Amino acid sequence: MDRLLLEDSQRLQQSLLRLKNLKPDPQVWREVSEGRVLTGEEAVQGGLVDEIGSYVKILERDFPGCELVFIKRNKMRDYLLHFYKMSSSMGRRG
């Protein structure tokens, strides 16, 4: 089991290095691999993330002009049913 966790940890670390050009501090990486939870600031300082932000901030930065649509909680069921029915009918055609 420990070997599998180590392999997963190494794969994730390689992905971070490749995708985001991040350079995690080895000690911080080891602690996170062992289950330590970090604050956002600790993650930045440890090289695990490039910045602290929100979902909205990232969308505005990476997708300028996008518009978020917020669905009221009581409408969520109807919204999900609509997409379920759409996807189900699409599956029957193919």
Give pLDDT tens digits for 50-92: 888 888 888 888 888 888 777 676 777 777 787 777 777 666 5
Residue 48 CA to residue 70 CA, distance in Å, equals 30
Q: How many domains does the chain have?
A: 1
User: What's the confidence (pLDDT) of residue 41?
Assistant: 92
Domain assignment present for residue 40? The answer is: yes
* Domain that residue 27 falls in: 1-52
**Is 16 inside a domain boundary?**
yes
Cα angle 85, 89, 92 (rounded to 5 degrees) comes to 145
Query: What pTM does this model have?
Result: 0.47
User: In this predicted model, what pLDDT tens digit does every residue of 27-36 receive, in sequence order?
Assistant: 887 888 788 8
- pLDDT greater than 50 at residue 93: no
End-to-end CA distance of the chain: 42
